[in-house]
Amino acid sequence: MDSRMVEVRRWLAEHHGELVRDTVAMLRIASLQDDPAPGAPFGPNVRAALDLALELSGQRGLRTKDLDGYAGYAEAGEGEPLVLSLGHLDVVPPGNGWTFDPFGAEVRDGWIYARGATDDKGPTMASLYALSALAETCGPLPARVRVVFGCNEESGMQCVKHYVRTEEAPTHGISPDAGWPLAHAEKGIANFVVSFNAPRKGFDLLDIEGGDRPNMVIDRCEAKVRVDRSVRAEVDGNLAKAWDRNVEWEWDGDLLSVVARGKAAHAAHPFAGDSAAVRLFRFLAEVAPESAREEYSKALQTGHLSGVGLGIHGSDEPSGDLTCNLGIVSCDGARVSLWFNVRYPVTWNGEQVRERVLRRIERYGSDWSLDRFDDSPPLYFPLDHPMVAALREVVREELGIEDPPIVMGGGTYARVVPNTVSVGASLPGDGAAHESDERIHTDHLLKLAEVYAHMLLRLATLAGSGA
* Tens-digit pLDDT profile for residues 427-461: 999 998 889 999 999 999 999 999 999 999 999 99
User: Measured between alpha carbons, how far is residue 292 from residues 222, 234, 260, 284 in Å?
Assistant: 19, 12, 20, 10
User: Does one domain contain both 417 and 454?
Assistant: yes
How many other β-carbons are positioned within 10 Å of the β-carbon of residue 14? Answer: 10
Identity (one letter) of the amino acid at 436? S
Decide if 384 is catalytic.
no
CATH number assigned to the domain comprising residue 172: 3.40.630.10
User: Does one domain contain both 368 and 385?
Assistant: no
Instruction: State the chain's mean pLDDT as an integer.
Output: 96
DSSP 260: E
User: Does one domain contain both 138 and 213?
Assistant: no
Domain end, chosen from 376, 409, 435, is at 376
User: Does one domain contain both 209 and 106?
Assistant: no
The 10s digit of each residue's pLDDT in 42-69 is: 999 999 999 999 999 999 999 999 999 9
Across 74-93, average pLDDT:
96
- Alpha carbons 425 and 27: distance in angstroms, whole number: 15
Helix boundaries (H) for 256-381: 276-287, 293-302, 350-364
- Prediction pTM value: 0.74
The 10s digit of each residue's pLDDT in 292-323 is: 999 999 999 999 999 999 999 999 988 899 99
User: Does one domain contain both 248 and 293?
Assistant: yes
- Quick one: which H or E segment has residue 371? strand 369-376
The pLDDT, as a whole number, for residue 467 is 65
Contact 340, 361 (CB under 8 A): no
Active-site residue, selected from the candidate residues 153, 167, 212, 274? 153
DSSP for 125-173, written as a single string = HHHHHHHHHHHHHS-S-SSEEEEEEES-GGGT-HHHHHHHHHSPPPSEE
User: Does one domain contain both 372 and 385?
Assistant: no
- Alpha carbons 451 and 455: distance in angstroms, whole number: 6
Domain end, chosen from 376, 397, 418, is at 376
From the centroid of its chain, how far is CA 160? 15
Strand duo 111-113 + 439-441: pairing: antiparallel
The 10s digit of each residue's pLDDT in 197-218 is: 999 999 999 999 999 889 999 9
CA atoms within 13 A on the CB side of 274: 10
The 10s digit of each residue's pLDDT in 125-175 is: 999 999 999 999 999 999 999 999 999 999 889 999 999 999 999 999 999
User: Does one domain contain both 365 and 276?
Assistant: yes
User: Does one domain contain both 259 and 130?
Assistant: no
User: Does one domain contain both 292 and 406?
Assistant: no
- Alpha carbons 349 and 314: distance in angstroms, whole number: 13
The pLDDT, as a whole number, for residue 408 is 85
The pLDDT, as a whole number, for residue 126 is 98
User: Does one domain contain both 61 and 133?
Assistant: yes
Domain end, chosen from 355, 376, 397, is at 376
Decide if 90 is catalytic.
yes
Q: pLDDT band for position 466 (50/70/90)? A: confident
Is the per-residue pLDDT at 121 higher than 90?
A: yes
User: Does one domain contain both 51 and 171?
Assistant: yes
DSSP 95: -
Determine the structural domain holding residue 93 and report its residue range: 5-187+379-464
Is the per-residue pLDDT at 283 higher than 80?
A: yes
Domain total in the chain: 2
User: Does one domain contain both 163 and 41?
Assistant: yes
The 10s digit of each residue's pLDDT in 230-255 is: 999 999 999 999 999 999 999 999 99
Active-site residue, selected from the candidate residues 75, 90, 186, 430? 90
CATH number assigned to the domain comprising residue 292: 3.30.70.360
Q: Which of 62-66, 183-187, 354-358 has the lowest mean pLDDT?
A: 183-187
User: What 3-state DSSP class applies to 425?
Assistant: coil
